[in-house]
Amino acid sequence: MTVTRSSETWAQTVERARAAFLGMAVGDALGATTEFMTPTEIRFKYGVHKKIIGGGWLYLKPGQVTDDTQMSLCIARAIRECGGWDLTAIAHHFVAWMKSRPVDIGATCARGIREFMHTGRLEMPPNAWDAGNGAVMRMVPVALATLGDEACLARWAAEQAHLTHNHPMSDAACVTVGRMVHQALCGGAVAALQTLAGELVRDYPEFRYRPYLGNSSAYVVDTLQTVFHHFFSTGTFADCLIGVVNQGGDADTTGAIAGMIAGAFYGIDGIPRRWLKRLDPKVRTEITELADYLVNAAPLVVQGRIRPAPAP
Ligand code: MN
Ligand code: MN
């Protein structure tokens, strides 16, 4: 499916790119509070959770982000440093991040990064247990940098995913989320995004999200069902994100993925100011710069004016 260009200007697309990346971080920071809680526990403790207050099982500061945002930043920084796609550079950024003793790191991600450290391997072997959401949560820089080139999106999505997760459903979810961000960046209508979600369900019926069963675990199927259900049943960024994070489970990651799609779709003015202001200012500044770089570099990459680095 090709990206439908509306009459949006490039400036609007750049603004949506910022909103996608910032929306992802906002979802991470908001959802981290309710990660691993049940909806009932959340209701009992917070009523409706809708403030970036930190805490949670990681005892975060308000506005602090977790691995979802940090791994996305690793990919974005590597693309900028290389002026293109260099999987080895991304892997080195993951290693440096893991050595920095991050507040949280998923078991599958840690295993993949260790594998690279010890063997230099850039691809984990296929594994039936790798259908977690850890590769999807870091898709926003890939989507921004490949805007306008669906084939490139599919290739880079799978390559970055396989550093840690190698499973066809994780791959399919990465590509679908990337395509949805592409559509939204170009001002695509909700129907276009629904079509993309529908294509994923057609290929992998497990992802069917109607009726929504309420599972929001780190299993990529549960994760995307949660994101799709709340994105398609709400009309604002805030309602979508509040719905997602009050579902609990892997709430920071469902929040991050919903935030990248809803951010691109509703734009920067759609993200509540109070949430953007709460976000760790260093993260907010770096994300804004990187989002601008990535989306502006994208057409150059596509035109071959910036060539992806040669394979190692
Ligand atoms: Mn996280
Ligand atoms: Mn998580």
CA of 104 to the centre of ligand 1 (A): 6
Q: What confidence tens digit (pLDDT) does each residue in 193-216 have?
A: 999 999 999 999 999 999 999 999
CA of 71 to the centre of ligand 1 (A): 9
CA of 311 to the centre of ligand 2 (A): 31
Cβ–Cβ under 8 Å, residues 261 and 230: no
Give the Cα separation of 69 and 65 in Å (integer): 6
Cβ neighbourhood burial of 59 (10 Å; 0-12, 13-18, 19+): exposed
CA of 13 to the centre of ligand 2 (A): 28
Q: What confidence tens digit (pLDDT) does each residue in 254-303 have?
A: 999 999 999 999 999 999 999 999 999 999 999 999 999 999 987 655 55
Mean pLDDT for the stretch of residues 219-244: 98
CA of 6 to the centre of ligand 1 (A): 34
Q: Which ligand is nearest to the CA of 223?
A: 2
Give the Cα separation of 171 and 166 in Å (integer): 7
pTM (predicted TM-score): 0.94
CA of 58 to the centre of ligand 2 (A): 11
Secondary structure element (H or E) that encloses residue 74, with its range: helix 67-82
- Residue 150 in tokens: 């669906």
Neighbours of 101 (CB within 10 A): 7
Cβ neighbourhood burial of 217 (10 Å; 0-12, 13-18, 19+): middle
CA of 233 to the centre of ligand 2 (A): 23
Give the pLDDT confidence score for residue 297 in this predicted structure. 85
Note the maximum CA span of the chain: 55
Considering only residues 298 and 225, tell me which one the structure prediction assigns the higher pLDDT: 225
Q: Which ligand is nearest to the CA of 254?
A: 2
* Predicted confidence band of residue 8 (pLDDT cuts 50, 70, 90): low
CA of 293 to the centre of ligand 2 (A): 27
* Predicted confidence band of residue 92 (pLDDT cuts 50, 70, 90): very high
Question: What residues flank ion ligand 2 with Cβ within 5 A?
Answer: 250, 252-253
CA of 67 to the centre of ligand 1 (A): 5
Does residue 107 carry a pLDDT above 60?
yes
CA of 310 to the centre of ligand 1 (A): 31
Give the pLDDT confidence score for residue 225 in this predicted structure. 98
CA of 304 to the centre of ligand 2 (A): 36
CA of 9 to the centre of ligand 1 (A): 34
CA of 68 to the centre of ligand 2 (A): 7
* Mean pLDDT score across all residues of the chain: 93
10-66+138-154+166-298, CATH topology level: ADP-ribosylglycohydrolase fold (1.10.4080)
CA of 28 to the centre of ligand 1 (A): 7
CA of 256 to the centre of ligand 1 (A): 8
Mean pLDDT for the stretch of residues 144-158: 95
CA of 308 to the centre of ligand 2 (A): 30
Half-sphere exposure for 187 (CA within 13 Å, toward CB) = 11
CA of 307 to the centre of ligand 1 (A): 32
